[in-house]
Amino acid sequence: MQEEARAWMLREIGLQPLWGLREQRVGPALPTVVAQEDAPDESEPNANVGEVASLNPVPEAQVAQAAESSDPDPTAWQELLQNIVECRRCELCKQRKQVVPGVGDLEPDWLFIGEGPGVEEDARGEPFVGQAGQLLDNMLASLDLKRNEKIYITNAVKCRPPGNRTPDAEEIAACRPFLAHQISLLRPKIIMLLGKSAVSSLLNTDGALGKLRSQCFEYEGIPVVVSYHPAYLLRNLPEKIKAWEDLLYARRILARDPS
Dihedral over alpha carbons 101, 105, 110, 116 (to 10 degrees): -20
Q: Taking a C-beta distance cutoff of 8 angstroms, is the pair 19, 11 a contact?
A: no
pLDDT for 182:
95
Helix 76-85 / helix 169-186 crossing angle, nearest 10 deg: 170
Among candidate residues 165, 177, 157, the one with its CA nearest the CA of residue 116: 157
Summarize pLDDT for 53-88 with one digit per residue, the tens.
233 444 444 444 444 444 445 688 889 999 999 899
Distance CA 135, CA 140 (A): 9
Q: Taking a C-beta distance cutoff of 8 angstroms, is the pair 244, 22 a contact?
A: yes
31-38+55-255 architecture in CATH? 3-Layer(aba) Sandwich (3.40)
* Confidence (pTM): 0.74
Report how far apart the first and last C-alpha atoms of the chain are (Å, whole number): 32
Q: Taking a C-beta distance cutoff of 8 angstroms, is the pair 99, 52 a contact?
A: no
Sequence length of the chain is 259
3-state helix, strand, coil in the chain (%, to 5): 45, 10, 45
In the chain, at which residue ranges do the beta strands (DSSP E only) sit? 103-104, 110-114, 151-155, 190-194, 217-219, 222-227
pLDDT for 4:
52
Among candidate residues 243, 248, 225, 245, the one with its CA nearest the CA of residue 233: 243
Average pLDDT value for residue range 79-98: 89
Among candidate residues 5, 24, 19, 27, the one with its CA nearest the CA of residue 250: 27
Summarize pLDDT for 188-235 with one digit per residue, the tens.
999 999 999 999 999 988 889 989 999 999 999 999 999 999 999 999
Summarize pLDDT for 136-158 with one digit per residue, the tens.
999 999 999 998 899 999 999 99
- What is the C-alpha R_g of the chain? 18
Burial class (CB in 10 A: 0-12, 13-18, 19+), 168: middle
The secondary element (H helix, E strand) that includes residue 250 is: helix 240-255
pLDDT for 73:
58
Distance CA 189, CA 219 (A): 11
pLDDT for 148:
86
